[in-house]
Chains A and B, each alone.
Chain A
Amino acid sequence: MRFVGLVWANLARKKLRTTLTVGSFAVALFLFGVLVPIRGAFSGGTDVAGADRLTVINKTSLIMPLPFSYRDRLLGVPGVAAVTFATWFGGVYQDERNFFPQFAVDKDTWFDVYSEYVVPKERLAEFLRDRQGCLVGRSLAKRFGWKVGDRIPLRGAIFTGAWEFNLDGIYDGKRPDVDTSQMLFRYDYLEEQRQFGKGTVGWYVVKLANPDDAVRVAAAIDDGFANSPYETLTQTEKAFAASFAKQMGNIGLLVMTIGAVVFFTLLLVTGNTMAIAVRERTGELAVLKTVGFSDLGVLGLVLGESVLIAGQGGALGLALAKLFTLGGDPTRGMLASFYLPWSSIGLGFGLALLVGAAAGALPAISAMRLGVVDALRRV
């Protein structure tokens, strides 16, 4: 701690240069803090998928339905605790650009299986009473300024016609990364109104009694429906979400590539700055060695400066990113969730310190190896 003053004083030597370098870190870490939620949003819920849930879809394609009659057979598979189902609706609200996902769900079982959705008791009761009722996520309601009691008209794209829903409630997520950009309405309303596909559902979601049984139960389900007109493909919800996300391209790789390029650039910029800083005070470093600072001590001082710059910039950038993400999805609905978890903030800060240490390593080593007599001669 007694050397912190010395490190601070050296950083204050060229205030503009230090500020710009700290700023570089801040910008890079801000970018990191924004890219992480974007990657999370495009991962299609992979990170938040339940470990105790399986998704059962038509083996041919996700867009092919499954018979409603499968529900009871699924409930009979050993290891299955609960079953619910959903159908993709694909309606348009006012304009195609106002896209958001809408699902017809089983009102009686959906929230038992998806316990991470939080709906006020009286709102859920209203939803159960109201055949035309719907529930929307908090971010979706915020996006369109909806409030409970509003009528929401949708133009059916798959199930044609004009559809109207009563907004019975707004749900939140138990965790900040739960998708609250969806609209959920009752399957029985869809079933009653649609012109085709009656008696079918889009997919089933199976809740396991024991997550360790996932492989066995998935195999049992698919074996049970093998050679039927509607063969199934059962996979963990995580695998399902990942395969769904892949349809949009490898966003994760893109984000990682951008991040890597930014951090590498930062490494070069900071390394260059620290090299200049060390070269400028060759004589001073020699004096420190003369008065008794060891080679390792001088190495530590230079590394300390670099890491302190990185720490300050990183903390600033991540704090700004956190504030930015607290403001919600900046695309007004393109991103299912927009949340920067604390674990990613920790990771980002650690990366910043690592880059700071790496950038300062070469200048610090050259300072460590500095010959006192030669350096003093150059003063």
Chain B
Amino acid sequence: MVRVDGEGNGGGLIRVRHLDKKYRRGSEEIDVLQGLNLDVEQGEFVAFMGPSGSGKTTLLNLLGGLDLPTSGSITVAGDEITHMSAAKLTAWRARHVGFVFQMYNLIPVLTAFANVELPLLLTRLSKAQRRRHVEVALGVVGLLDRMDHYPRQLSGGQEQRVAIARAIVADATFLLADEPTGDLDRKSADEIMELLGRLVREHGKTILMVTHDPRAAERAGVVLHLDKGALVEGSAAAGIPA
């Protein structure tokens, strides 16, 4: 159950309370997020929508521990991340968060296999174990036969699938996807959304996604709109209960 009223019982996977984020541009202070509350349970697929500059990506960065809030708290799987040191936050991110970006952000000099293996290099897994994990992840996204290809040898949709494999390979607690279909044609975008939906349905993954695309948002179980720095519930897509 996704809640934005701050009344959740705290038993969910993600719990955000009174989150404020201000930016300073010159002498001007901009309130991007104001008193934002959010509760997300394991296995939810949440889409954030809103106009440009509404703070969607900022929210994603805060949830992923890439940025720190001005005030408020974020608790993920029992870990309060807003007061963690930078080093602890990095380690926490490696263990709990899988990121999917609009521009895929694969390392161009590494093969699909090596790109997916990147998060595992930080673990204590042996080479053989890492190989098995990568093959499973690439199998889930249907690119096992492309593991030796470089990003330039893949289509946009394939690159995004490799990026998703990289996000799931270390069995992250939840995935954060920032406009995952923003740079894809309709067909590829549908395939990516189908893949993300399958990760939720079949693998129990929790996904929080920012998108401008209503068709992509329809695939999510819950659509939340960012309005004046706070979240407002939208319509739930069919098929996945919110």
Contact = CB atoms under 8 A, between A and B. Distances in A.
Interface stretch (B2-10, B88-96, B154-162, B202-210): B88-96
Interface string B103-129: 101011110001000110110000100
A287 B66 contact: no
Contacts of A292: 90-91, 93-95, 119, 122
B99 A6 contact: no
Interface centre among A283, A291, A372 (most CB of B within 10 A): A291
A379 B90 contact: no
Nearest to A291: B119
A378 to B, nearest CB: 11
A253 B66 CA distance: 53
Given A283-B105, A287-B105, A5 B87 contact: no
A295 B107 contact: no
B56 interface: no
B88 to A, nearest CB: 10
Nearest to B120: A2
A351 B93 CA distance: 38
B87 A291 contact: no
Given A289-B90, A373-B61, A12 B121 contact: no
B101 interface: yes
Interface string A1-45: 011011001101100000000000000000000000000000000
Contact of A288 (B87, B101, B109, B118): B118
Interface residues of B, number: 26
A379 B105 contact: yes
Nearest to B103: A379
Contact of B66 (A6, A290, A295): A290
A291 B66 contact: no
Interface string B4-47: 00000000000000000000000000000000000000000000
Contacts of B110: 6, 9
A289 B61 CA distance: 13
B90 A293 contact: yes
Chain B at the A interface: SS class? helix
Nearest to B122: A292
Contacts of B114: 5-6, 9
Chain A at the B interface: SS class? helix
B171 to A, nearest CB: 13
A246 B66 CA distance: 64
A10 B108 CA distance: 9
B166 interface: yes
Contacts of A291: 93-94, 99, 118-119, 122, 166
B86 interface: yes
Given A9-B109, A10-B109, A290 B93 contact: yes
A1 to B, nearest CB: 10
B218 interface: no
A287 to B, nearest CB: 5
B109 A13 contact: yes
Interface in B44-65: 61, 64
B190 interface: no
Interface string B57-77: 000010010110000000000
A164 interface: no
A295 B86 contact: yes
A284 B107 contact: yes
A25 to B, nearest CB: 22
Interface centre among A12, A297, A376, A379 (most CB of B within 10 A): A376
**Sorted from nearest, which 10 A-B pairs have the closest CB atoms?**
A292-B94, A9-B109, A287-B105, A291-B119, A13-B109, A372-B66, A294-B90, A373-B67, A292-B122, A2-B121
8 contacts: A6-B110, A289-B90, A291-B118, A291-B119, A292-B90, A293-B90, A372-B66, A379-B101
Given A13-B108, A291-B119, A291-B122, 5 more contacts: A12-B109, A284-B108, A291-B166, A295-B86, A372-B67
